Amino acid sequence: MRKIEYPAQADWQELVKRPTQNFEDLEAGIAQTFRLVQKQGDAALLELTQKYDGVKLDSLFASQEEIAAAESELSPELKEAILQAYSNIQLFHAQQAEQPKHVETMPGVTCWRKSVAIDRVGLYIPGGTAPLFSTLLMLGVPARLAGCKEIILCTPPSKSGSIHPAIRYTASLLGIDKIAKVGGAQAVAAMAFGTESIPAVNKIFGPGNQYVTVAKQMLSKTGVAIDLPAGPSEVLVMADDSANPAFVAADLLSQAEHGADSQVVLLTTSAEMLKRVEQELQVQLSNLPRKEFAAKALENSLGILLSNVEEMLRFSNLYAPEHLILSIQNFEEVLDKITNAGSVFLGNYSPESAGDYASGTNHTLPTNGYARAYSGVSLDSFVKKITFQHITPAGLQNIGKAIEVMAAAEGLEAHKNAVSIRLKEVQNV
């Protein structure tokens, strides 16, 4: 971790830049994958799965027997944990449902908005070095609550051609009975364009490796909707003397272990805290199974000493972290000053891992500074908002003149006439 003491504010803009990634070199190969899937459909998916995942599949889909067998393949502890997380995520997201509110903007003019589920959504769940069944909960629960008619699940198979049992069990829990054994850019292409077996979806959700990330970004330029701009995982921790350095180090490493391209940032007002966190990082790092990933991520990470909490808040808002942890005294007093963050964790006993798994909030969040403008996935991500209005004859008489005047001022005579022709009829009744 690179240590920086009291940087000048003029240098902050440079410090908040993420490690640069050049994905342009991947685009030509992904475009070729897109063309192959569009042309050959399921045959292309089988071919590319054999090429990239090293497995020759007899079927693109997990059988009903495989899905049913998942429950017996998991430990009772893991099943109980998944059920607890499922319950909390469902409870939190269910409260996000919005009921239509009819508003009479003036007598005879009534407007309202209704949430309507996206018909068909595609969920991509990584299954390589870390099979993210937790992400399936985060996406599948709000999709079901929203009322999406069809949920397509794609996840890469193991070398044996199987899907991790936790993913199969979670899918079954969510009522998803169609699991495509396909990963990478080819899975994204299948959900975007459709094949003989996988229907084209209206919106694609889920994280993935650099090929999945670039594939989704390329599709967003063609009109296929995606959940949000995604990149390597990140966390920013604000810590003062009240923080526990072991806790802080654990939180930093929890994101660093995602991958070598992840970034973690520590802001502190205490030189002693910075020193002790650095020591804890080395102690805890040595015991991690994924220490190679975490160590590489720490090379791109920052430990910054600042003068006070106000400076830490300003830096954090400029950085706009995916995850923000406030390990500071009196955090309640500064919550209104947080303007840019994906998800916020308060106090010494709110680890970022809680949001990743089981507290109830969604862990699919904007990275790379996109929290300045984007929200994380929620129930709203799976619905469209449609507005309605009803105008009575009396209402048209009340609002008609304003419309006519505005339309005429813009030189749009047909717009004006659409009102005028009705007003004449109303006035003649």
Do 176 and 52 fall into the same domain? yes
Q: What are the tens digits of pLDDT across the range 123-165? A: 999 986 678 999 999 999 999 999 999 999 999 999 999 999 9
Closest to 29 measured CA to CA, from 52, 50, 46: 52
Residue 381 lies inside a defined structural domain of this protein = no
- Contact indicator for 246, 280 with CB cutoff of 8 Å: yes
Question: CA 38 to CA 40: how far, in whole Å?
Answer: 6
Residue 300 has pLDDT above 90, yes or no: no
Most trustworthy range by pLDDT among 128-137, 289-298, 396-405: 396-405
Residues known to be catalytic = 322-323
In the block, residue with structure tokens 């908002």: 385
How many domains, the chain? 3
Residue 208 has pLDDT above 90, yes or no: no
Average pLDDT, the chain: 95
* Boundary-marking domain end, from 226, 252, 273: 226
- Contact indicator for 36, 48 with CB cutoff of 8 Å: yes
Do 186 and 214 fall into the same domain? yes
Question: CA 75 to CA 73: how far, in whole Å?
Answer: 7
Do 258 and 331 fall into the same domain? yes
Closest to 205 measured CA to CA, from 20, 380, 45, 368: 380
Question: CA 215 to CA 414: how far, in whole Å?
Answer: 43
Do 49 and 193 fall into the same domain? yes
* Boundary-marking domain end, from 226, 254, 270: 226
- Contact indicator for 90, 358 with CB cutoff of 8 Å: no
Do 262 and 164 fall into the same domain? no
Beta strands in 6-75 (DSSP E): none
Closest to 197 measured CA to CA, from 378, 379, 61, 348: 61
Q: What is the mean pLDDT of residues 87-105?
A: 97
Closest to 298 measured CA to CA, from 276, 316, 282: 282
Q: What is the mean pLDDT of residues 52-70?
A: 95
Question: CA 146 to CA 97: how far, in whole Å?
Answer: 8
- Where on the phi/psi map is residue 402: left (φ > 0), alpha (ψ -120 to 50), or beta? alpha
Most trustworthy range by pLDDT among 21-25, 94-98, 217-221, 227-231: 94-98
Question: CA 388 to CA 383: how far, in whole Å?
Answer: 16
Residue 117 has pLDDT above 80, yes or no: yes
Do 99 and 182 fall into the same domain? yes
Q: What are the tens digits of pLDDT across the range 2-44? A: 999 999 999 999 999 987 667 788 899 999 999 999 999 999 9
- Contact indicator for 189, 38 with CB cutoff of 8 Å: yes
Question: CA 172 to CA 191: how far, in whole Å?
Answer: 20
Residue 384 has pLDDT above 70, yes or no: yes
Do 51 and 134 fall into the same domain? yes
- Contact indicator for 377, 139 with CB cutoff of 8 Å: yes
pLDDT at 269: 97
Q: Distance of alpha carbon 284 from its chain centroid, rounded?
A: 28
- Contact indicator for 150, 120 with CB cutoff of 8 Å: yes
- Contact indicator for 129, 156 with CB cutoff of 8 Å: no
Query: Domain holding 34: CATH number?
Result: 3.40.50.1980
Q: Which residues are annotated as a binding site?
A: 124, 186, 209, 233, 255, 258, 323, 356, 410, 415
Question: CA 369 to CA 46: how far, in whole Å?
Answer: 37
Three-state SS at 111: strand
Range of the domain at 247: 2-17+232-360
Do 343 and 415 fall into the same domain? no
Q: Which residues are annotated as a binding site for NAD(+)?
A: 124, 186, 209
pLDDT at 221: 79
- Write the CA distances from 347 to 24, 233, 243, 361, integer angstroms: 40, 21, 8, 17
- Contact indicator for 129, 418 with CB cutoff of 8 Å: no
Q: What are the tens digits of pLDDT across the range 179-199? A: 999 999 999 999 999 999 999
Handedness of CA 87, 89, 90, 96 (dihedral sign): positive
Angle at 122 between CA 118 and CA 127, to 5 degrees: 150
pLDDT at 129: 66
Residue 145 lies inside a defined structural domain of this protein = yes
pLDDT at 220: 79
- Write the CA distances from 6 to 9, 267, 273, 300, 305, integer angstroms: 9, 10, 15, 19, 5
* Boundary-marking domain end, from 226, 251, 268: 226
Do 68 and 150 fall into the same domain? yes
- Give the pLDDT band of residue 426 (cuts 50, 70, 90): very high
pLDDT at 128: 67
Question: CA 327 to CA 338: how far, in whole Å?
Answer: 14
Angle at 129 between CA 277 and CA 121, to 5 degrees: 110
pLDDT at 428: 81
Do 181 and 319 fall into the same domain? no
Do 127 and 198 fall into the same domain? yes
Do 74 and 191 fall into the same domain? yes
Give me the sheet containing 343-346, strands edge to edge.
Answer: 2-5, 302-305, 263-268, 234-239, 323-327, 343-346
Question: CA 399 to CA 393: how far, in whole Å?
Answer: 10
- Look up residue 359 and give its two tokens: 């507290």
